[in-house]
Amino acid sequence: MRISRRILAGLATASLAVTVTSCGGGSDTSGSFDDPVTVGILHSLSGTMAISESTLVDTEKMAIAEINAAGGVTVGGKSYKIEYIVEDGASDWPTFAEKSKKLIDQDGVPVVFGGWTSASRKAMLPVYESKDAFLYYPIQYEAQECSNNIFYTGASPNQQSEPATDFMYKRSPAAGKPFFLVGSDYVFPRTSNTITKEQLKSLGGEVVGEDYLPLGNTEVAPIISKIKKALAPTGGGVIINTLNGDQNVAFFKQIQDAGITPSNGYYVMNYSIAEEEISTIGPEFLEGHYGAWNYMMSIDTPESKKFAADFKALYGSDRVVADPQESAYNMVYLWKQAVEDAGTFENSAVREALVGQTFDAPQGPVEVMPNHHLAQTVRIGLIKPEGGFEILEETDGVVYPQAWNQFEPSSKGYACDWTDPSKGERYKL
Amino acid sequence: MLLDSLFNGVAIGSVLLVAALGLAIVFGLMGVINLAHGELMMLGAYTTYVTQLIFKLPLLKPYYNAYVIVSIFFAFIVSGVVGILLEKTVIRKLYGSPLETLLATWGVSLILQQFVRSVPLAYGTGLVISLIIGLFLPSVFSSKVKESINFKYVKFSSWIFAALAGVLSGNLISSSVSKLSRASARNVDVTAPAWMRGQVEILGTNFPKTRLMIIIITLISVIAITLFLNQSAWGMRIRAVTQNREMSDCLGISTEKVDVLTFGIGSGLAGVAGVAVSLLGSVGPNVGGNYIVGCFMVVVLGGVGNLLGTIFASFGIGIMTDLIGAGRLLSIWPDMPLPLSNTINFFATTSMARVMIFALIVIFLQFKPTGLFPQKGRMVES
């Protein structure tokens, strides 16, 4: 083989150069502050996840700008202006760990806001635990994890799938009919579906089939024939969809062609389709199906409207806000409050002050629980022909997050509590 | 039931076939490992999207229903021209060194992916238009002009003309179709016209129309390429060069022209596959990459250098995918013994069906390493 050593060395240098040059950040220095404090923002700005994750960077910058405009963070009588360093995780999980190390060791940031995929979080977790740093993670995820060094502001499965399953089984047009579960083949859909299956068992419902599409695969013909075979005898039913990204487009295009539509009695409940995705997939394919989220852009409260309007004013009127962005927005504010209560940027004090923090978020009041997850409201929405959700129902008050899945046999009966040193990550209830 | 299963298998197989057909020519006949094949498909898919938006303009609105048919031709030309350019600039220099070809084409695939992410599609279209004009304008002149000493000036000025035409058309498209005027990494969507949506009933079973359309596109491509290779003069030259390059060269066949043509046709077919794929899912920078493994699998299984093998292999894989993935065997033979039915159930998911099919192919290739229909006779590099 005639690949010379020089070429390999060249390649290595080139990739190193890319790594070194990819940082930016900072913000202007107006107003009067005693000192600046620099935080880290770590999302993918390139690669496949860039489209989704860059919206979080935008939202976090907006929250920081708002806090600065209102006087910054006040700690020990001194006002601090928040500055930030944005790092690119490049849709590559080891890069997330590497950039975390850089932010913590080299830049000395007190907190990092970052991540989207579970794979990126799993890659970062050991870094934060070994350096006792703090990561704020804004995405709805599969739980089964509870780190002292991560604060999870997205929904845990019981804050999304449980109310949704309850709604679909009891009050949807397909109430009482059997369920079919479809998802992408990775950890979130499988975990979420174990909850759905167990929950349906206790409700008396039936799951007649389940299938997972390998990531990147868009051939859904076998799944469609299975759905038809399973649900046609009952004249339709409920499909729980946890497919990821573009696979949804293939799925919805093809099920519509195959006659699996609301008008024929098939209703799809989606856990990964928010306002942004509705407009990319096309509302004509999604009309009449459902979604479950903590935040929906159509929430009719002043806080929600202001959040959407501010974002549009900053980034363009064609932009939308969705649940992950709201989560990202909340976590910046919650960090600010915790720091102010702790009176220091020092990690262990902030962590202690964080639990119990409440915030009037765009979705309504949220509260940080001892398991480092967020108690929040859950909403069920019907997808409208023109896009967006019509909110059908919302839970009475907040739903409490479960870090350990109470339907999964291996974690049943366990919980997490970081306020009590004897309990910690995982203790028996 | 059986009809339904057969149709599903054929539908899955025809997507594989249309995607692999171009590769069967480029890899099978020319022996070039083209990792940018998926990106040529992607260009075809984006061409469909651009054509769709252009047909939404008031002037062309009445013909909107025909845009898919038109885009098949456009996609063939666009991907074909990009393929020709790729052959002329990169691959030509690397014949006989497969490893370097593999690396270079992989690089090209990354460049093309990033290109659609960061260049507004309107200007991308303009660039492609100027490439088409630049490459083909010189060939319309009479042979007298071509043989004259000053032909290089004609060539040069036609490239200038092409560049101007490209800039103008890019600006025109960007000003008239706002969706194409900004670069976006976001996936876009091709919506089939109304007559291609929904289902059609044949023999009491419902079939999705888009799937039928893809089967028809595949059929036409296969027939056209077979006729071309077997009946036309250029087709025979291609086959001659494939079988013995030196001998063909000695007999006065311009192997250089044959290479360009073969690669162009293979790439053009990738573009057609892009149209088919765009009807099924969304169109994005990674759309082609998802198919590339399947394409190579089909060509290797079918037997390198043999179109018939590619056809059998893709339908074989399609039917097996449906049989295993949808658990059909259970409904055909409901009261099979328990251990067997459990095994079948275990593999009756999309992920496991894929594992099973890969395993079966590996086992098959152990016994027949040259594929279903091995090429007989002397090959160039063997």
DSSP codes, A383-427: EPTTSSEEEEEE-SSPBPP-SS-SSSTTTTTEEEESSSTTTEEEE
In this complex, the residue of B198, B281, B350 whose CB is nearest that of residue A249 is B281
Q: What is the pLDDT of residue B381?
A: 47
Query: What is the average pLDDT across B175-191?
Result: 78
Query: What is the average pLDDT across B42-69?
Result: 90
**A280 to B189: CB separation less than 8 angstroms, yes or no:** yes
Q: What is the pLDDT of residue A31?
A: 60
The residue among A176 and B377 whose pLDDT is bigger is: A176
Residues 6+ apart with CB under 8 A from A85: A23, A24, A25, A26, A38, A39, A40, A41, A103, A107, A109
Place of tokens 């999309």: B350
Nearest CA in chain A to B16: A219
In this complex, the residue of A48, A217, A254 whose CB is nearest that of residue B286 is A48
Nearest CA in chain A to B192: A253
Instruction: Give the distance, in angstroms, between the CA of residue A238 and the centroid of all CA atoms in the same chain.
Output: 24
Taking alpha carbons only, the member of B34, B33, B103, B108 closest to residue A3 is B103
Query: What is the average pLDDT across B105-129?
Result: 89
- DSSP 8-state code for residue B97: -
Positive or negative, the Cα torsion across A97, A99, A103, A106?
positive
Q: Is A154 left (phi over 0), alpha (psi -120 to 50) or beta?
A: beta
Give yes or no for a contact between A41 and A60, defined as CB atoms under 8 angstroms apart. Answer: yes
Residues 6+ apart with CB under 8 A from B194: B65
Instruction: Give the distance, in angstroms, between the CA of residue A6 and the centroid of all CA atoms in the same chain.
Output: 43
Q: Is the pLDDT of residue A14 over 70?
A: no
Question: Which chain A residues have a beta carbon less than 8 Å from that of B209?
Answer: 257
Query: What is the average pLDDT across B319-340?
Result: 80
Give yes or no for a contact between A119 and A145, defined as CB atoms under 8 angstroms apart. Answer: no
Strand B205-208 vs strand A290-293: parallel, antiparallel, or unpaired? Answer: unpaired
Alpha-carbon distance of A281 to A283, in angstroms, equals 7
Q: How confident is the model at residue A344 (pLDDT cuts 50, 70, 90)?
A: very high
**B15 to A50: CB separation less than 8 angstroms, yes or no:** no
- DSSP 8-state code for residue A217: -
Q: How confident is the model at residue A421 (pLDDT cuts 50, 70, 90)?
A: confident
**B15 to A225: CB separation less than 8 angstroms, yes or no:** no
Q: What is the pLDDT of residue A302?
A: 93
Q: How confident is the model at residue A28 (pLDDT cuts 50, 70, 90)?
A: very low
Q: What is the pLDDT of residue A200?
A: 92
Q: How confident is the model at residue A106 (pLDDT cuts 50, 70, 90)?
A: very high
The A residues from 134 to 193 touching B (CB cutoff 8 Å) are 185
Alpha-carbon distance of A256 to B196, in angstroms, equals 12
Phi, psi of B303 (to 5 degrees): 105, 115
CA distance B195 to chain A (A): 12
Residue among A51, A253, A254 with most chain B CBs within 10 A, to mutate: A253
Q: Count the Cβ atoms, other than its own, within 10 Å of residue A7.
A: 11
Q: How confident is the model at residue A39 (pLDDT cuts 50, 70, 90)?
A: very high
Q: Is the pLDDT of residue A13 over 70?
A: no
Residue among A210, A211, A223 with most chain B CBs within 10 A, to mutate: A211
Nearest CA in chain A to B114: A47
Nearest CA in chain B to A230: B326
Nearest CA in chain B to A255: B208
Residue count (chain B): 382
**B197 to A51: CB separation less than 8 angstroms, yes or no:** no
Q: What is the pLDDT of residue A4?
A: 46
DSSP reduced 3-state for A152: strand
Q: Which residues pair with A428 in a beta bridge?
A: A414
Helix and strand numbers, DSSP H then E, in chain A: 13, 19
pLDDT in tens, B125-168: 999 999 988 888 877 777 777 777 777 888 888 889 999 999 99
pLDDT in tens, A297-319: 999 999 999 999 999 999 988 88
Taking alpha carbons only, the member of B280, B234, B214, B287 closest to residue B25 is B234
DSSP reduced 3-state for A116: coil
Nearest CA in chain A to B8: A221
Give yes or no for a contact between A101 and A125, defined as CB atoms under 8 angstroms apart. Answer: no
Percent of chain A scored above 90 by pLDDT? 60
Give yes or no for a contact between B132 and B73, defined as CB atoms under 8 angstroms apart. Answer: no
In this complex, the residue of A216, A222, A284 whose CB is nearest that of residue B325 is A222
**B350 to A211: CB separation less than 8 angstroms, yes or no:** yes
The A residues from 238 to 297 touching B (CB cutoff 8 Å) are 246-247, 249-250, 253-254, 256-259, 280-282, 284
Alpha-carbon distance of A155 to A143, in angstroms, equals 9
Q: What is the pLDDT of residue B134?
A: 87
The A residues from 46 to 75 touching B (CB cutoff 8 Å) are 48, 50-51
**B281 to A253: CB separation less than 8 angstroms, yes or no:** yes
Q: What is the pLDDT of residue B376?
A: 61
CA triple A401-A146-A277, angle to 5 deg:
60
pLDDT in tens, A127-169: 999 999 999 999 999 888 999 999 999 999 889 988 999 999 9
**B199 to A259: CB separation less than 8 angstroms, yes or no:** yes
Whole-number average pLDDT of chain A: 88
Q: What is the pLDDT of residue B1?
A: 67
**B282 to A281: CB separation less than 8 angstroms, yes or no:** yes
**A212 to B208: CB separation less than 8 angstroms, yes or no:** no
Q: Which of A36-50, A134-148, B46-60, B339-353 has the lowest average pLDDT?
A: B339-353
Q: Is A375 left (phi over 0), alpha (psi -120 to 50) or beta?
A: beta
The verdict on A426 touching B (C-beta cutoff 8 Å) is no
Give yes or no for a contact between A238 and A210, defined as CB atoms under 8 angstroms apart. Answer: no
Place of tokens 């991308």: B124
In this complex, the residue of B210, B290, B322 whose CB is nearest that of residue A218 is B290
Give yes or no for a contact between B18 and B250, defined as CB atoms under 8 angstroms apart. Answer: no
- Helix-strand-coil split of chain B, %, nearest 5: 75, 5, 20
Widest pairwise Cα distance in chain B: 81
Q: What is the pLDDT of residue B138?
A: 79
Q: How confident is the model at residue B284 (pLDDT cuts 50, 70, 90)?
A: confident
Instruction: Give the distance, in angstroms, between the CA of residue B179 and the centroid of all CA atoms in the same chain.
Output: 26
Please give the structure tokens belonging to residue B243. 């079988």
Q: What is the pLDDT of residue B215?
A: 93
**A254 to B208: CB separation less than 8 angstroms, yes or no:** yes
Residues 6+ apart with CB under 8 A from B113: B39, B42, B285, B286, B289
Nearest CA in chain B to A220: B350
Nearest CA in chain B to A278: B189
Q: Is the pLDDT of residue B245 over 60?
A: yes
Residues 6+ apart with CB under 8 A from B381: B31, B96
Angle between helices A161-170 and A187-203 (to 10 degrees): 40
CA distance A185 to chain B (A): 7
CA triple B57-B62-B64, angle to 5 deg:
70
H or E segment at A88?
strand A78-88
Place of tokens 């059609």: B200
Whole-number average pLDDT of chain B: 86
Give yes or no for a contact between A138 and A328, defined as CB atoms under 8 angstroms apart. Answer: yes
The count of CB pairs under 8 A between chains A and B is: 101
Residues 6+ apart with CB under 8 A from A385: A283, A284, A287
Q: What is the pLDDT of residue A27?
A: 45
Alpha-carbon distance of A73 to A339, in angstroms, equals 8
Q: How confident is the model at residue B322 (pLDDT cuts 50, 70, 90)?
A: confident
CA distance A46 to chain B (A): 10
Positive or negative, the Cα torsion across A44, A47, A53, A59?
positive
HEC assignment per residue over A315-376: HCCCCCCCHHHHHHHHHHHHHHHHHHHHCCCCHHHHHHHHCCCEEEECCEEEEECCCCEEEE
In this complex, the residue of A213, A221, A249 whose CB is nearest that of residue B322 is A221
Q: How confident is the model at residue A18 (pLDDT cuts 50, 70, 90)?
A: very low
**A222 to B326: CB separation less than 8 angstroms, yes or no:** yes
Q: Is the pLDDT of residue A366 over 90?
A: yes
Nearest CA in chain A to B280: A250
Residue among B196, B214, B290 with most chain A CBs within 10 A, to mutate: B290
Phi, psi of B230 (to 5 degrees): -95, -25
**B189 to A281: CB separation less than 8 angstroms, yes or no:** yes
Alpha-carbon distance of A368 to A362, in angstroms, equals 16
Give yes or no for a contact between A398 and A376, defined as CB atoms under 8 angstroms apart. Answer: yes
Give yes or no for a contact between B25 and B266, defined as CB atoms under 8 angstroms apart. Answer: yes
Taking alpha carbons only, the member of B10, B6, B5, B21 closest to residue B268 is B21
Nearest CA in chain A to B322: A222
Alpha-carbon distance of A98 to B50, in angstroms, equals 40
Q: What is the pLDDT of residue A25?
A: 42
DSSP reduced 3-state for A84: strand
The verdict on A226 touching B (C-beta cutoff 8 Å) is yes
Q: Count the Cβ atoms, other than its own, within 10 Å of residue A412.
A: 12
Q: Which of B173-182, B262-271, B274-283, B329-338 has the lowest average pLDDT?
A: B329-338
Alpha-carbon distance of B84 to B86, in angstroms, equals 5
Alpha-carbon distance of A50 to B157, in angstroms, equals 42
Question: Which chain A residues have a beta carbon less than 8 Å from that of B281?
Answer: 218, 246-247, 249-250, 253
Give yes or no for a contact between A275 and A387, defined as CB atoms under 8 angstroms apart. Answer: yes
**B354 to A217: CB separation less than 8 angstroms, yes or no:** yes
Q: What is the pLDDT of residue A20?
A: 39
**B185 to A50: CB separation less than 8 angstroms, yes or no:** yes
Alpha-carbon distance of A93 to A123, in angstroms, equals 6
**A218 to B281: CB separation less than 8 angstroms, yes or no:** yes
Give yes or no for a contact between A425 and A146, defined as CB atoms under 8 angstroms apart. Answer: yes
ipTM field: 0.78
Query: What is the average pLDDT across A38-55?
Result: 86
The verdict on A211 touching B (C-beta cutoff 8 Å) is yes
Q: Is the pLDDT of residue B244 over 90?
A: no
Nearest CA in chain B to A216: B290
Residue among B102, B345, B350, B356 with most chain A CBs within 10 A, to mutate: B350
pTM, two decimal places: 0.81
